[in-house]
Amino acid sequence: MKFSDLIAAMFVVGIVLIIIIPVPSILLDFLLILNISLSIIILLTTMYVKDAMDFSIFPSILLITTLMRLSLNISSTRLILTSGFAGNVIHAFGSFVIGNNPIVGFLVFIIIAIVQFIVITKGAERVSEVSARFTLDAMPGKQMSIDADLNAGIINDKEAKERRRKIQEEAKFFGSMDGASKFVKGDAIVGIVIMIINIIAGLIIGMTMKGMDINQAINTYTILTVGDGLVSQIPALLISTATGIIVTRTASETNMGNDVIKQLLREPRVLQITGVLLILMAFIPMLPAIPLLIIGSLFTYLGFSNRKKNTESERVKNEDLKELEEIRDPKRAYDLLQVDPIELEFGYELIPIASNELLDRIVMIRRQIALDLGLVVPMVRLRDNIQLKPNEYIIKIRGNEVGRGNVYVNKYLCMQVGEMNSDIKGISTREPAFGLPALWIDDSEKSKAEMLGCTVVDVPSVISTHLTSVIKKYSDELLGRQEVKELLDNIRLTNPALVDEIVPKLLSLGDIEKVLCNLLREEISIRDMVTILETLADYAPSTKDTDVLTEYVRQSLKRAITNKYAKDGKLQVITLDPEIEKSIQNAINQTDHGSYLALSPDAMQKILKAIHNIMKKLTIKGEQPIILTAPIIRFYLRKLVEQISKDIVVLSYNELLPNIEVFSVGTVKLSES
């Protein structure tokens, strides 16, 4: 391709030289085969282009191939008249067509030449003239259309230049095709003239100069004339056909073959009628029944097959139109406002896991959350997300991301308390739910890790554990008024008097929701709804402050709270210095809209720093930080320590059973800050 311009120039010069310089028969065979090959390539190329401008070099190629065909025709004529032999290609073509009857063979060749000249060549020439004329006549209108679109702002300057350039190229192309088609016509005429010269001059030379009798001369030069004419007329026929195709080709998104099949056979009724008529014609005497039945059956089958396809396409089209109409419906905008309570999105590598094992795990998660927290978890929406990494997943609550993790489908997560054993080979990571150091290990390392006391879990367990942790952490955000109503309706089946007493006489659904969310925010189970409602029924007549009501409910649930945090009847806690408790109690302000803590920023920072220091010491020892304080300030202290960590547990004395042994492991003092 680097020397393509040089090769093309030498090729054209070589064609001209062939006209002058005698060519041996061996080289002529090679050139004739090359000529036929180029003709086939050109014809197939015109069938596969989607637009005539995709083959804009065709007029120049048409001129070069015509010149090549004429030069080879002259060279073959020279060999025929001088030596009576023009190579194996010409002899083979002539023998094949003529067979044992020179007269019939010659007449067949004459018919081919006439068809090529009158039908193909004349038709292509006429189409080229008309196409060139209409293209030139349409140029002003197309230019005005481009100017109108440009002035209206539909297209920019660059697009306008591109469209003008395309119009100019089309005009040049069809104008060139109009002139190039004249070469095809002249080539056909010259081919017929050369054929006449070959047969007449050949007979004269054969009988006068070579001493042949009339029969021998006819057999010899008829074969050579027909063979030479065929190797010239066949490429000419192919090129003429390509010319007709390229000038009649309209712009399309597919090639000619696809367009023909799609447009010719797309109407099932036409095929069915044609097939039935052919089958009926098979019963007419003297007509060949077998071909008519076979072809008729084929068209009938194609008709029914296309009808089925068209019906299916029409159904899909109607569904698409219906879907489009639904999308255009203004009411559909409300569907976009729906937010799923819980979503789990994952990369494409996790699709098999999400489709099988994870679905079963989610059922168990909903069951476990119902037992642990008394909350009915809403449906978890599973969907793939191509924007995520293949092995990545994210967890969303109310449309917002609250958790993310990366897993390896064919590996196991290995966790060990303390320092990880160096004998285990794997990829270092962090357990997504609790942030513990871990390794992703292969199946071959699994047995070794279990023998060393490590916890080894598979990918579905990792994701489900993370999902469970997130649901527990944000359980208060999953509870709304509708969920509260459903819980109350369930209680109403067994305790109708209790529910009717509270709602709506004492408290509204919103008030009960706030109390329940306060409990869930600190992972206190609301499963014992009867006790919760009994407490609310007792204290709601005296106060409507939901924070105060929450503290009363917590005291009623003291058995559940004690069992949750105490181990073997013992509880290790951190206490507050009386000075801190007093300062917090004095900072509580009561208003008509509720109470709040009004500590100064300096005092608040000192208390938080003191709590943070002692919590840090306990965390290093691996102990769970629990702060024990007076009931009146418990709620406000909990709100305060949330700024450090939501995992800090704050209990009051009234929330513990009297038989529990409480051990103080530290005291929060301002002097330690």
Q: Which residues partner with 457 through β-bridges?
A: 413
Q: Kindly state which CATH superfamily the domain 559-673 is placed in.
A: FHIPEP family, domain 4 (3.40.50.12790)
Average pLDDT over residues 204-214: 73
345, 396 contact by CB (below 8 A):
yes
Q: What does the DSSP assignment read for 29-43?
A: HHHHHHHHHHHHHHH
pLDDT of residue 673: 43
The average confidence (pLDDT) of the chain is 81
State whether residue 540 is helix, strand or coil: coil
Digit-coded pLDDT (tens) for 440-473: 999 888 888 888 888 899 999 999 999 999 999 9
Q: What stretches of 84-121 show up as alpha helix (H) in DSSP?
A: 88-98, 102-115
3-class SS of residue 491: helix
Strands 342-346 and 380-384: parallel
Task: Return the pLDDT at 129.
Answer: 67
Question: pTM (2 decimals)?
Answer: 0.54
Assigned CATH topology for domain 479-556 = Helicase, Ruva Protein; domain 3 (1.10.8)
**Residue 326: predicted pLDDT:** 64
- Residue matched to tokens 């896991």: 353
Least trusted range by pLDDT, from 91-100, 403-412, 526-535, 555-564:
91-100
pLDDT in tens, 223-275: 777 777 777 777 777 777 777 777 666 555 556 666 666 666 677 788 788 88
Please give the Cα distance from 671 to 328 (Å, whole number): 68
Amino acid making up residue 489: D
Domain boundaries, the chain: 15-261, 265-328, 342-476, 479-556, 559-673
Q: Measured between alpha carbons, how far is 284 from 287 in angstroms, rounded to an integer?
A: 6
With tokens 């089309």, the residue in question is 170
Comparison of pLDDT for 116 and 460, the residue scoring more: 460
Q: From CA 219, how far away is CA 199, in angstroms rounded?
A: 10
Task: Report the top-level CATH class of 342-476.
Answer: alpha beta
CB 184 within 8 A of CB 66: yes
Q: What are phi and psi of 101, to 5 degrees?
A: -130, 95
Asked if 50 and 255 count as a contact pair (C-beta separation under 8 A), the reply is yes
Residue type, 294: I
**DSSP structure class, residue 474:** T
Higher pLDDT, residue 355 or 352:
352
| Residue 319 pLDDT | 74
| Residue 420: predicted pLDDT | 55
Q: Distance from CA of residue 347 to its chain's centroid?
A: 13
Q: What is the mean pLDDT of residues 431-447?
A: 87
